[in-house]
């Protein structure tokens, strides 16, 4: 039987790329809540969706099982918990940096994002933006347009 710590199991699970936002891992998004080895040797990973209707949850569960199977764990249970609810505060700094590098903005303190393309050109000051749609390429994102550079961009919704 393998001797593996909770931290190691959580790191393996957390390294799984998000199936909708492939530039970040589920660990960086804060989806992985915990990991443990049950008395019977089964590995249990606890996750929380970004919102209760997230269509990627089946893929995330399958990818966690595959990652842990690849690390030698044959018996893996993935539990989903809804409380406490996930929030954008759970995204790590490296997660936000990866999202920003690909043009996906953080929601901003007020919920209004800064344009990820031109905010730096304005000394880091927010540029005027307009929300085009409450939904973008994934339900946890919204679509915006920058009034300065006129480019559209996605932003993670503040939850």
pLDDT in tens, 119-152: 755 566 667 899 999 999 888 899 999 998 999 9
Q: How far apart are CA 156 and CA 96, in angstroms?
A: 10
Question: Block means of pLDDT (10 residues each) for the chain, length 159 residues?
Answer: 77 96 96 93 94 90 97 95 93 93 85 81 71 90 92 90
Residue spans of alpha helices (H) in the chain: 6-14, 26-29, 57-70, 93-101
Q: How many domains does the chain have?
A: 2
> How confident is the model at residue 1, as a pLDDT?
44
- List of residues 6+ apart from 157 with CB closer than 8 A: 88, 107, 134, 140, 141, 142
Do 111 and 70 have their domain in common? Answer: no
In a domain? residue 96: no
Domain span at residue 150 reads: 104-156
In the 8-state DSSP scheme, what is residue 128? P
What pLDDT is recorded for position 51? 84
Q: Tell me, what CATH number does 78's domain have?
A: 3.30.300.130
Residues 109 and 79 in one domain: no
Domain end among 66, 89, 112 = 89
Q: Report d(CA 115, CA 103) in Å as an integer.
A: 8
Residue 24: C-alpha distances to residues 14, 20, 42, 107 (Å): 10, 9, 27, 16
Half-sphere exposure of 106 (CA within 13 A, CB side): 20
pLDDT of residue 121: 57
């Amino acid at each position: 039987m393998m001797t593996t710590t909770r931290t190691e199991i959580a790191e393996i699970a957390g390294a799984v790329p998000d199936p909708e936002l492939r530039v970040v891992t589920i660990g960086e998004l804060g989806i992985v809540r915990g990991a443990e080895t049950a008395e019977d040797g089964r590995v249990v990973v606890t996750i929380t969706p970004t919102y209760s209707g997230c269509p990627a949850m089946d893929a995330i569960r399958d990818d966690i099982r595959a990652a842990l199977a690849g690390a030698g764990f044959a018996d893996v249970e993935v539990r989903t918990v809804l409380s406490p609810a996930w929030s954008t505060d759970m995204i790590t700094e490296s997660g936000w940096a990866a999202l920003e590098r690909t043009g996906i903005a953080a929601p901003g303190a007020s919920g209004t994002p800064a344009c990820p393309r031109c905010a730096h050109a304005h000394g880091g000051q927010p540029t005027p933006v307009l929300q085009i749609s409450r939904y973008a390429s994934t339900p946890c994102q919204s679509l915006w347009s920058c009034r300065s550079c006129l480019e559209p961009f996605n932003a993670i919704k503040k939850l």
